[in-house]
């Protein structure tokens, strides 16, 4: 199989694909503009040649402040395009099974953690943020309950263990608004 | 998207990006009167462009340019569309001296697996797709799973399903991929 882990990691299309869509649309629109001018020049359509001012400007270029801004924007687009051309496909999923190709997104790990945290006695709400390095579970509940943090930690532990990057787990207990 | 197509798209975007960046630098340098930019402008023969509309062949050149631009643009858009579906898979079979070819509908295999998985406790929905992904044929099963479901249990069922698929298609280069999507937590 193609990926390094041999299990066909689900990865989105390269970022360059978005630019290809933009390039394609720009070329089609430019083609329509040029086709319009061709029809006008051949006398099929009435009107003015839209490209004439552009060609006239090219022959005797003149500069304004806005023009420099546009050039900088175009240059920035070019740099972004080069960067996206060489950027690898992003990693969007964690592999959560050693034997088979089973995958979860960070947001799914977070939802599973939050659901387990919310089942603990004394927890009103739970919110989880998952990255490759750490998992932060924020629960609202009784801040004077010293065992609450440990119970939440134990509850989310089995889910966090699925993440292959072994992230650090932090549990924050905050008081609910009613208690403040 | 195949690896070859992705590579070609990357090259096109990279070259176009370099061209745009270079053009932007040149235009700014020309505006501030840089010597090298003036020399490049001399090579580009800017006066030629102003005289274009008066040429006899201007209409023909416009027609050809329009055709090329539209065709290249449509081809690029067509390339960007990811057509990855695989519907059939041919399996070579032989029994004694008789050999033959069996056509397997991968969608049917994936559908059967997905239906089985949808019955697993905690799994609320199962979707499937048979796709080409970076040169491999992959059966992808997406499972919507309840937030408090037994994930270890679901993983075990996925392992069994992968075994079953390999058993149904022995020796075939078809990968299986299971994606677990946890449902949003809903407040009662």
Dig out the tokens for A45 from the structure: 């359509």
DSSP state of B45: T
The reported pLDDT for the residue numbered A178 is 63
ipTM of the complex: 0.75
- Is the pLDDT reported for residue B93 higher than 80? no
Q: What is the pLDDT of residues A56-112, one digit of tens each?
A: 887 777 777 778 888 999 999 999 999 999 999 889 999 999 888 999 999 999 999
| Least CB–CB distance from A159: residue in B18, B151, B179 | B151
Per-residue burial over A157-180, b if 16 or more Cβ lie within 10 Å, else e, is eebbebbeeebebebebeeeeeee
Q: What is the pLDDT of residues B13-37, one digit of tens each?
A: 999 999 999 999 988 888 888 889 8
| CB within 8 Å: B73 and A162 | no
The pTM assigned to this predicted structure is 0.74
B153 and chain A: CB distance < 8 Å anywhere? no
| CB within 8 Å: B12 and A20 | yes
Give me the total of CB pairs closer than 8 Å, taking one residue from chain A and one from chain B: 248
B154 touches B124 (CB < 8 A): no
Chain A residues 82-141 within an 8 A CB cutoff of chain B: 82-86, 89, 93, 96-97, 99-105, 107-109, 111-112, 114-116, 118-119
Residue that the structure tokens 């059967």 belong to: B112
Lowest mean pLDDT among A146-160, B74-88, B168-182: B74-88
Q: Which residue of A has its CA nearest to B53?
A: A52
B22 and chain A: CB distance < 8 Å anywhere? yes
| Distance (Å, whole) CA B15 – CA A85 | 9
């Amino acid at each position: 199989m193609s990926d390094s882990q041999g299990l066909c990691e689900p990865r989105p299309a390269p970022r360059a694909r978005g630019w290809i869509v933009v390039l394609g649309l720009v070329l089609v629109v430019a083609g329509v503009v040029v086709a319009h001018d061709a029809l006008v020049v051949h006398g099929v359509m009435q009107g003015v040649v839209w490209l004439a001012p552009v060609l006239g400007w090219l022959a005797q270029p003149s500069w304004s402040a806005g023009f420099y801004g546009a050039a900088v924007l175009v240059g920035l687009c070019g740099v972004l395009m080069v960067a996206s051309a060489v950027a690898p496909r992003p990693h969007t999923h964690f592999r959560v099974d050693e034997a088979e190709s089973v995958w979860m997104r960070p947001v799914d790990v977070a939802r599973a953690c939050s659901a387990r945290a919310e089942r603990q006695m004394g927890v009103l709400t739970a919110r989880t943020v998952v990255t490759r390095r750490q998992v932060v579970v924020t629960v609202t509940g009784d801040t004077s309950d010293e065992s609450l943090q440990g119970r939440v930690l134990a509850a989310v532990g089995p889910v966090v263990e699925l993440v292959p990057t072994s992230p650090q787990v932090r549990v924050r207990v905050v008081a609910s608004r009613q208690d403040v | 998207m195949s690896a070859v197509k992705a590579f070609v798209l990357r090259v096109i975007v990279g070259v176009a990006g370099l061209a745009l960046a270079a053009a932007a630098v040149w235009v700014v340098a020309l505006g501030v009167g840089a010597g090298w930019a003036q020399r490049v402008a001399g090579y580009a023969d800017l006066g030629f462009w102003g005289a274009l509309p008066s040429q006899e062949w201007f209409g023909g050149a416009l027609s050809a340019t329009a055709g090329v631009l539209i065709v290249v643009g449509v081809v690029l858009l067509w390339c960007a569309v990811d057509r990855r579906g695989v519907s059939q898979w041919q399996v070579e079979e032989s029994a004694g001296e008789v050999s033959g070819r069996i056509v397997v509908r991968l969608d049917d295999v994936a559908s059967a697996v997905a239906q089985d998985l949808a019955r697993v406790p905690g799994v609320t929905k199962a979707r499937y797709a048979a796709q080409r992904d970076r040169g491999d044929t992959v059966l992808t099963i997406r499972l919507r799973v309840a937030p408090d479901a037994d994930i270890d249990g679901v993983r075990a069922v996925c392992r069994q399903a992968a075994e079953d698929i390999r058993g149904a298609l022995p020796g075939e280069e078809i990968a299986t991929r299971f994606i677990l999507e946890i449902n949003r937590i809903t407040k009662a």
